[in-house]
Structure 1
Amino acid sequence: MNNYNVENLRKKLDLHRMHVLNKYKYYDCKKNEIDRGFVIPTEIKSQYISNLGWCTKAVDALADRLVFKEFENDLFSFNEIYNLNNPDIFFDSAILSALIGGCCFVYISQGVNEKPRLQIIEASNATGNIDPITGLLTEGYAVLERSGDDKIGFDTPKLEAYFKPNETIYFADGKVVSSVKNPAGIPLLVPIIYRPDAVRPFGKSRITRPARYLQAHAKRTLERADVTAEFYSFPQKYIVGLDPEAEPLDQYKATIASILQFSKDQDHESPKLGQFPQTSMAPFTEQLKTLASAFAGETGLTLDDLGFVTDNPSSAEAIKASHETLRITARKAQRCFGSGFLNVGYVTRCLIDKYAYTRDMISEVKAKWYPVFEPDVAALSGIGDATIKINQSVPGYFGSDNLSELTGFDASKEPPKVEAEDEL
């Protein structure tokens, strides 16, 4: 028998909330790193604060390639449920939130005329205890509204919901205000998880610790390069043999003036001018490129994705080959998110029909995705030639359904036939 306790889930959310908000700061490029360097004075550091969007690029490069298509063999009309909930925004928002926080949650409810409503809640505002077999929650907790600014991390919950298998309890300012029966028999809070495993059942964020370290290191490199650029622009000069009684030079005028005048001393000796070796920016450029290479290896991107042009523009196949790691990562993400979206549709259907269907009844429903890389004309030609040869060997092996998976195009419908009018 399960011992349900909302207080345990509140403590669990408080434990992980700051970690998720910290990842959102990296994604929003609002994370201020502490530079522990001892060479540059603190007052100068504060004037050269740089920003990098590498972590943002790591998330967006994968999220933009994950485009959900539909459910195949849709026996329970899952596609209809999602079409009622703005699918163009819903799927993209769920995928993006899950890649940043490791997971997100979908709050299921009923609106006008008992139509299903799906609301995405980020991992910083929801948690629960998960069933490792089905990927569904045995109990869940979500903060639906907070007082004040949600980004500071210390605001108090204003409206909460505690999800049990047969009941959803709502809290306002910490007190129970209502309770709604749940005929689905499953908590109406469903997780969408990115790369779950036995150790991390709630997944792993795309913004990993190595990615955060490399971006912070590159950020410090840019700040030091900014400070060094001042010395690079105005090299240090020196004067030897100047009369001690000469009027002191204005350092600013001496730096920007094109002509300087010096008189001979009483011994008719002229001062000698010199310049220290100019500071080079090359070490910073090389260090930044090295960090970019390490970041690209960590996230499956290329140096071109991070702004370092390496070669001439490549063909679609060459780009696809260079992103092989990203392609494999995207296919893995499709399997993870497809299972989560299937669970959302399953629980929603149980709620709408007011009947607790068994999980095995939806085993034939499959999530379909558009190709990670859209094929160009040359790739389509190659697919066509290969299809003809394979179908000659194995008739009917390729049809409109599996070719749609390869090309990303749906089979066109035949135009309606118009009967010819009888001749007069």
Structure 2
Amino acid sequence: MPLDLDPLAWVRRLAEAHDRQMTQLQLWNAYYEGVQPLSYMAPELLMEVDDRMRQVVINWPQLVVDSLEERLDIEGFRLGGADQADRDLWDDIWQPNDLDEESQLAHVDALAMRRSYVIVGAGDSPGDPPVITVESPLQVYAERDPRTRQIVAALKRWQQPQADGGAEDFATLYLPEATIQLTRKGAGSDWEEIGRDEHRLGTVPVVALVNRARVADRDGVSELAAIVPLSDAACKIATDMMTAAEFHAMPRRWATGLADDDFKDPSGRPVSALSRIAGRVWATRGDSVKFGQFPEANLSNFHETINSLARLAASLSGLPPTYLGLATDNPPSADAIRAAEARLVKRAERRQRAFGGGWEQVMRLALLIRDGEVRPEAERMETIWRDPATPTYAQKADAVTKLFAAGLLPKEQAWEDMGYSAAQIARMRAMEDDALTRLTAADLHALSTAPNGPAAPIGSPTAQSTVSGWSADSADG
């Protein structure tokens, strides 16, 4: 792979590779948003009902992604050798970049569209924290070295509306030694360099959060890949059900002995054949006039088909059946609910491990930009995730209390296992230190005002015997 390309050659190379994937990325995005085209529908039927009926979208793709993303919450980072979360990374880097909220967006895009990206840059002024932004795969593409699997170049493209109603194209090329800004006036014109930052980091400041990477495909796999065919089938069946409800669920009337001129609207104009069908009246010509009606259709076959597709979607996605509306007459017990969520919890843990490596790389890049180096303990950084399981608060508290009482769990780890964030743990530790300080001050005051006179210096035998509540005279007794 040529790594000595000039910037414009890199832009063309990355843009062409990105364009080849753009159609599929936009399709995954459409499925997540629920605006995908209708599948499995005959074109003739679409032409017949297109002006009267919309597609019924059963948005299982969004359910699959959101149910997994809701269990991916980052609570801090722990440096190698430390027993608690690092406050510097959380307070000075993570929080100023609003990554509590932005990380959720990155996870959604990675789950739905195979991957998302995080870009790290220097602040606007000296002393400002590094700037970290999450990016959509619809705008960013990165190329990896096939030997090291590391990103060797990345490109971000976007359009900015202009006052004349047109749009100007912008791009940023990220290389190991520099970041280059480019622009062009139209799709057919050449890119022009408008700015350059010679950061000399020795690495591309772009990190990919990849969902379900494969050995031969580091770009990942969408969580929607297995669900989309079932979702298409469910949307088609639901649309058919609405069509059947429109034409067959209600009793349809028939009439004989009537001519086309007998069907008129309130203004006296003839009613079209389609309007008569929509009005559920079948009419034929004849010598005598007769009226009647057909029996209505039963829609249960549609219901059973959708339920069957939902069961298949649950088995492929790992979602509990209740998430897809497959409820039973008897509500499940708490143990049954946890058992049904076992696969979903394990999938969330797998995503935590994959995404955690990417976020650790992001924080190391931020330290490199801010401090000019990465400390050895930062190389062994660990991402702290919230427990993706859903035990009750009482169950979790009971388990943590027993482990702490048995001496198997330090207090800081007990707080972390209970789900407290790094900021909450720091506040509780400060409260504990403050309470200890006040207690020590109260003890010293009590010793100094004792009836026998001023207390002996701390550490003397007299002070120790007073604090412990006994003296040599009382011991003789």
TM-score norm. by structure 2 comes to 0.73
How far residue 201 of structure 1 moved from its aligned partner, in angstroms, is 0.5
Query: How many Å separate the matches in 2 of 1:30 and 1:176?
Result: 37
How far residue 141 of structure 1 moved from its aligned partner, in angstroms, is 1.3
Which has the higher Rg, Structure 1 or Structure 2? 2
Higher helix share: 2
Seen in structure 2, the aligned counterparts of structure 1 residues 377 and 171 have a Cα distance that, compared at 3 Å, is closer
Seen in structure 2, the aligned counterparts of structure 1 residues 33 and 301 have a Cα distance that, compared at 3 Å, is same
Query: How many Å separate the matches in 1 of 2:100 and 2:333?
Result: 29
1:98 aligns with 110
How far residue 274 of structure 1 moved from its aligned partner, in angstroms, is 5.3
Q: Share of identical aligned residues, percent?
A: 20
1:146 aligns with 159
Query: How many Å separate the matches in 2 of 1:370 and 1:186?
Result: 30
TM-score norm. by structure 1 comes to 0.81
Partner deviation per Cα, 1:46-68 (whole Å, 9 max, x = no partner): 42222222111111111111100
Instruction: Tell me the matched-pair count.
Output: 395
How far residue 135 of structure 1 moved from its aligned partner, in angstroms, is 5.8
The residue identity in structure 2 corresponding to 1:280 is N
Seen in structure 2, the aligned counterparts of structure 1 residues 201 and 361 have a Cα distance that, compared at 3 Å, is farther
1:262 aligns with none
Seen in structure 2, the aligned counterparts of structure 1 residues 329 and 148 have a Cα distance that, compared at 3 Å, is farther
Q: How do residues 2-401 of structure 1 correspond to structure 2 at under 5 angstroms?
A: 2-4=3-5, 5-6=9-10, 7-37=12-42, 40=45, 42-49=47-54, 50-73=56-79, 77-79=88-90, 80-114=92-126, 115=128, 116-131=130-145, 136-143=150-157, 145-147=158-160, 158-173=169-184, 174-208=191-225, 210-238=226-254, 275-355=293-373, 357=374, 362-380=378-396, 382-384=398-400, 387=403, 392=406, 396-401=407-412
2:453 aligns with none
Greater shift in the superposed pair: 361-370 or 100-109? 361-370
Task: Answer yes or no: is the 8 Å Cα contact 2:159–2:168 preserved in 1.
Answer: yes
Query: How many Å separate the matches in 2 of 1:243 and 1:141?
Result: 72
3-state secondary structure, aligned to 1:158: strand
Partner deviation per Cα, 1:380-424 (whole Å, 9 max, x = no partner): 255147526xx75xxx43223443454324664325143446679
Seen in structure 2, the aligned counterparts of structure 1 residues 200 and 86 have a Cα distance that, compared at 3 Å, is same
Partner deviation per Cα, 1:202-242 (whole Å, 9 max, x = no partner): 2111221x311111111111111111112344323456xx7
Q: Give the alignment partner of residue 416 of structure 1, picking from 414, 420, 435.
A: 435
Query: How many Å separate the matches in 2 of 1:164 and 1:2?
Result: 10
Partner deviation per Cα, 1:240-277 (whole Å, 9 max, x = no partner): xx7899x9688999x999xxxxxxx9xxxxx9875434
How far residue 171 of structure 1 moved from its aligned partner, in angstroms, is 0.6
Query: How many Å separate the matches in 2 of 1:311 and 1:59?
Result: 28
How far residue 175 of structure 1 moved from its aligned partner, in angstroms, is 0.7
Partner deviation per Cα, 1:120-157 (whole Å, 9 max, x = no partner): 111111112225787641211111x31469xxxxx987
Q: Which runs of 5 or more residues in structure 2 are unaligned?
A: 185-190, 265-270, 281-287, 451-477
Seen in structure 2, the aligned counterparts of structure 1 residues 47 and 354 have a Cα distance that, compared at 3 Å, is same
Seen in structure 2, the aligned counterparts of structure 1 residues 91 and 309 have a Cα distance that, compared at 3 Å, is same
Task: Answer yes or no: is the 8 Å Cα contact 2:364–2:379 preserved in 1.
Answer: no
Query: How many Å separate the matches in 2 of 1:345 and 1:244?
Result: 79
Seen in structure 2, the aligned counterparts of structure 1 residues 206 and 218 have a Cα distance that, compared at 3 Å, is same
Query: How many Å separate the matches in 1 of 2:63 and 2:46?
Result: 32
How far residue 369 of structure 1 moved from its aligned partner, in angstroms, is 0.4
Task: Answer yes or no: is the 8 Å Cα contact 1:102–1:203 preserved in 2.
Answer: yes
Query: How many Å separate the matches in 2 of 1:306 and 1:83?
Result: 35
How far residue 320 of structure 1 moved from its aligned partner, in angstroms, is 2.2
The residue identity in structure 2 corresponding to 1:182 is H
Give the RMSD, CA atoms, in angstroms.
3.5
Task: Answer yes or no: is the 8 Å Cα contact 1:18–1:124 preserved in 2.
Answer: no
Partner deviation per Cα, 1:328-364 (whole Å, 9 max, x = no partner): 1100000011000011111121122234x49x76342
